Chain A
Amino acid sequence: MIRLHNVERSYPLGRGQLFYVLRDIDLDISQGDFVSVMGPSGAGKSTLLHILGMHDHGWTGEYFFDETATHHLKAKERASLRNEKIGFVFQQYHLLDDLTVYENLDIPLSYRHYSKSERTALVGDALDRFQIVGKKDLYPRQLSGGQQQLVGVARAIIAQPKLLLADEPTGNLHSSQGEEIMKLFRKLNEEGMTIVQVTHSEKNASYGKRIVQLRDGWIV
């Protein structure tokens, strides 16, 4: 499903010098895979995830998504491809403070072409499926961290993406809450969702099917 070839990402250091965050990345991820990206802080994990998530386009190399050469796409086309195929979970949850759980779930739908009734139905399904119907009118600050991340995951998949990207999704959670999320990921993966997560924990990585180790921008 995903093929990266010779992807490199650098930032200018000043005086014409470049600082390479990612070097010569070749990576294949097939449909239904569950990859855990591991490595020390600063290794470039988040950078890789943002490239996969098509948030970043300051890189060089080739990135095929379902045979689409995303490196040839225009920003607009890439954005709509992303909207259609990719969901994102953040370490910080990043629920919108001023919106209720229900409204947070509705946000991704409001940015896509869904009708009012489809949106109601999809949000309803997600609330059901994640067993948070009772919390739908609460604000994020009224939820525990684990509950917030649950909403975060629900929000990431509500628009039915094929690929779920998660950057340290359990980084801010207690281990028991983290386990919840990991079980949820495994379930989603079993249902066919392709998942790439960044994690520091061997235990979390064990939920996945394989591990990609990054060190100083290189895959090792």
Chain B
Amino acid sequence: MLNDIRFAFRLLFKSPGFTLVAIAALALSVGANTAIFSAVNSLLLRPLPVEDIDRLVYSIALREGFDPFGSSLIEYAAYRDRSHSFVSSGVAAQRSFNLTGHDDPERVRGATVMATYLTTLGVKPALGRTFTADENLPGGPAVTLIGYEFWQRHYGGRVGVLGEPLNLEGRSYNIVGVMPRGFDLPGAAEVWLPFQANIDSLPLVEQAASNYEIAARLKPGVALKQADAELKAIARQLEGEYPEFRHGWSVKVISLRQQLLGDLEGRVHKALFALMGGVGFLLLICCANVANLQLARGFGRERELALRRALGASRGRLVRQLFTESMLLAVLGGISGLLLAYWLVPALAMLNPIQGISFAAFLRHFEIDGRVLSFALVVSLVTGVIFGLLPALKGAGTHELMLRIKQGDQRSGGAASRQWLNSLIVAEIAIAMTLLVSGGLIVQSFQRLQHVDLGFNPENLLTLKMILPESKYSEYRQRVAFNDQMLDRIKNLSGVVSAGTTTNIPLEREITYDARFEVEGRVPSNPNEVLITSHRIVSPDYLKTLDATLMSGRFIDGNDRAGNLPVVVISEELARQAWPGQNPLGKRLKRVRAGQTFPSMTVVGVVKNVKEDLFNYRINRPVWYVPYAQVENSFPVNLIVRAKGNPTFLTTAVREAIRAIDPDQPVSDVMTMNTNLSDVLVTERFSAVLMAALAASGLLLASIGLYGVMAYSVSQRTSEIGVRVALGAQPRHVFQLIMGHGMKLTLLGVTIGLLAAWSATRLLVSLLFELSACDATTFSAITLLLGFVGLVACYLPARSAMHLDPVEALRYE
């Protein structure tokens, strides 16, 4: 064995060209496989700082069966009391708090949680305890939990922090526990307050608000599907029981892990599977390539091998020898691949494929852990077996021994063995074709998504967020005054084109506000019809600042104040749903909410659809804009500033303008609109970039493979070519002979690849956007591309064949 290895090493060193090409190809595919697997591992497999994550589920309220919302307490109570699928469940609501008493005022992300929310997740505090049932009761003690990183940052990890006060929103809370490192559910919470309410005694309107997140742990043996079916049935009961609140709502249960990825539609899973498929294909191409190299080299060694057999080596012994060589190659390739992966993995993590913000320390830092290492090892060994077995068996074959010895390398590689090379290269081309078509479709979908009309101009926009504390701005006119003053100041800054405020920044990754509405004078054709719109409360210049397109009427202006006619600006989609085929200007509609009445609002303007909602990026959802001055609310104030040039240059000036009005007012999430947007298509960008890279690598490997096979075939056919020239073949005949052979292989590969791609791309349908899985343009473009690459790969060998000297070729006579 040791001898085999030593000899194998010597052989690899003897043909460094072959060895380098083979190791490079192996490194590329093992590296790609390992890197993608590390992403899969980090996102889907690795344990997270909650107990047994894979039994935890999350429920999404769905309106009209597709439009996702947070959950309500009505649902929570019903699921808790009626369902039999769960061991336990709990709710939490994301909030943020103004933190004072520590240096500068700071906005911190936090949550109010039920004690059972934390026990359901099975989170164990790093210090102290979590909430007790008593602390969940109305009027319970003012206690708080803090996050591990928050503890490190603000208290330097001091144990004595327990019992100390924490000042949130102007109120003091007693710290009773520190959460474990990395734990930040829901959202990216750093402080937790107990949810102190008795659900049944809350007003129905509050129970119905969809601001909550439900987490539940499945009972042993209960599958997610069963739980989903059960909750759907309960949601149907609720539709009947609370028609005014729950009509048209259903529910979908997904795994908590999927929710953490921010992946309500399961696209991350699909993208990761597509990528795993892609790297798998790349690996196959690589195996075929190295097998071909090995086979070709094996033919050249037939003499050596025949001699070894003549000297008494058994067939098994030769297979072992050849196989050892392949495995050695695989191990060297695997090690190089792993080194490549160490370099690729951080790059993949930077390309971050997920929208979720929780557990960032885990989900956004891909690492090569034991599982990934074992994967790389297994992949390398399997690769070695795949590409090594065939050449070993062929090489040690039982062919006419003495003939081989006598003929030397004259006629090495009979027609049958050549057939193997040809088949492998055809397979390689077919796989590359599949990879290229899939990559092409995914990249194009991404491009289309990127060029979706946003309805506004994202360039040169600066955005930031504020929450005006109730304690300080208890009266609505104070809030309006703050708004007006701030906008006044900011508009007058140099470099500012315009500025406005809204309640949600377009496409931001936050809870967004919606409203049900009624159209005046319209009898719903379907009694189940529920009209819902994105609800944005904006300052006069907001739409102008966004650079939204006014289709008719006017934008909201400074005269739309309290006491004047309540007005609304609607999107085209809302107009289409409310008044199909009519002019909506002057028509009236109003918001509806049980237990409250809202004034009718007159439509004064229609704007082109604006992509407001992240989760509805692929469709148009109705939006309306109502004047901040006419609608009392305690929603966040989000500032949008349009700059003349680079918006980041305005950051300091804008912050100062706000501080000048209220020095205690924290601002957060200061960023450009483009930064915000770059988060929207993360999964799509991730798969597009990687699929493109994989497809390009596949193409490269396949063309190197084709080149290798053609070059080998020319070297092998030297004497045949010499004979042909001696019989009168002109250089162009020889050229055609070789090109013909290469193109025949290419076309066969492309044809099989077309069929394979046609069936493979079916699996990608849900990842595609406005693109058919059998898009003719992509298929033909890739066919042409491969045909062209095939031509190039065959050209050099064909040229060298053309210049073969017949005397040289026939010299052994």
Contacts and interface: CB of A to CB of B under 8 A. Distances in A.
Interface of A: 46, 50, 53, 55-56, 79, 82-83, 88, 90-92, 94, 96-98, 107-108, 110-112, 155, 159, 167-168
B813 A111 contact: no
B721 to A, nearest CB: 10
Contacts of B291: none
A88 B726 contact: yes
B806 A83 contact: no
A167 B573 CA distance: 88
Contact of B728 (A91, A97, A98, A108): A108
Q: Which secondary structure characterizes the binding site on chain A?
A: loop
B361 interface: no
A83 B728 contact: yes
Nearest to A80: B730
Contacts of B725: 55
Contacts of A53: 726
Interface of B: 415, 719-720, 723-730, 733, 805-807, 810, 813
Contacts of B724: 96, 107, 111
Contact of B807 (A56, A83, A94, A98): A56
B730 A98 contact: no
**Chain B interface SS verdict (over half):** helix
A107 B813 contact: no
A94 B806 contact: no
Given A46-B813, A96-B720, A97-B415, A111 B807 contact: no
Nearest to B812: A92
A111 B806 contact: no
A96 B717 CA distance: 10
Contacts of A83: 728
Contacts of A96: 720, 723-724
A108 to B, nearest CB: 5
Contacts of B719: 94
Contacts of B728: 79, 82-83, 108, 111-112, 159
B253 to A, nearest CB: 63
Q: Which 4 A-B pairs have the closest CB atoms?
A: A111-B728, A94-B723, A83-B728, A55-B806
Contacts of A88: 726-727
B733 A111 contact: yes
A165 to B, nearest CB: 9
A98 B726 contact: no
Contacts of A90: 723, 726, 810, 813
Given A56-B807, A97-B415, A98-B415, A155 B727 contact: yes
Contacts of A110: 733
B237 to A, nearest CB: 76
A98 B413 CA distance: 13
A83 B730 CA distance: 9
Contacts of A55: 725-726, 805-807, 810
Given A50-B810, A90-B813, 7 more contacts: A55-B726, A82-B728, A90-B810, A96-B720, A108-B727, A110-B733, A112-B728
Contacts of B726: 53, 55, 88, 90, 94
B490 to A, nearest CB: 81
B813 A79 contact: no
Nearest to B720: A96
B730 A111 contact: yes
A50 B730 contact: no
A132 B690 CA distance: 62
28 contacts: A46-B813, A50-B806, A50-B807, A50-B810, A55-B726, A55-B806, A55-B807, A79-B730, A82-B728, A83-B728, A88-B727, A90-B726, A90-B810, A90-B813, A94-B720, A94-B810, A96-B723, A107-B724, A108-B727, A108-B728, A111-B724, A111-B729, A111-B730, A111-B733, A112-B728, A155-B727, A159-B728, A167-B813
Contacts of B723: 90, 94, 96
A94 B807 CA distance: 14
A110 B728 CA distance: 9
Contact of A107 (B727, B730, B805): B727
Nearest to B411: A97
Contacts of B730: 79, 111
Contact of A111 (B415, B720, B727): B727
A56 B725 CA distance: 12
Nearest to A82: B728
Contacts of A92: 813
B419 to A, nearest CB: 11
A43 B813 CA distance: 13
A108 B730 CA distance: 11
A167 B805 CA distance: 17
A25 B725 CA distance: 26
A26 to B, nearest CB: 22
A195 to B, nearest CB: 16
A83 B724 CA distance: 11
A110 B639 CA distance: 80
Contacts of B807: 50, 55-56
A112 B115 CA distance: 93
Contacts of A112: 728
A130 to B, nearest CB: 17
Nearest to B811: A46
A14 B139 CA distance: 103
Contacts of B727: 88, 107-108, 111, 155
Contacts of B813: 46, 90-92, 167-168
Contacts of A155: 727
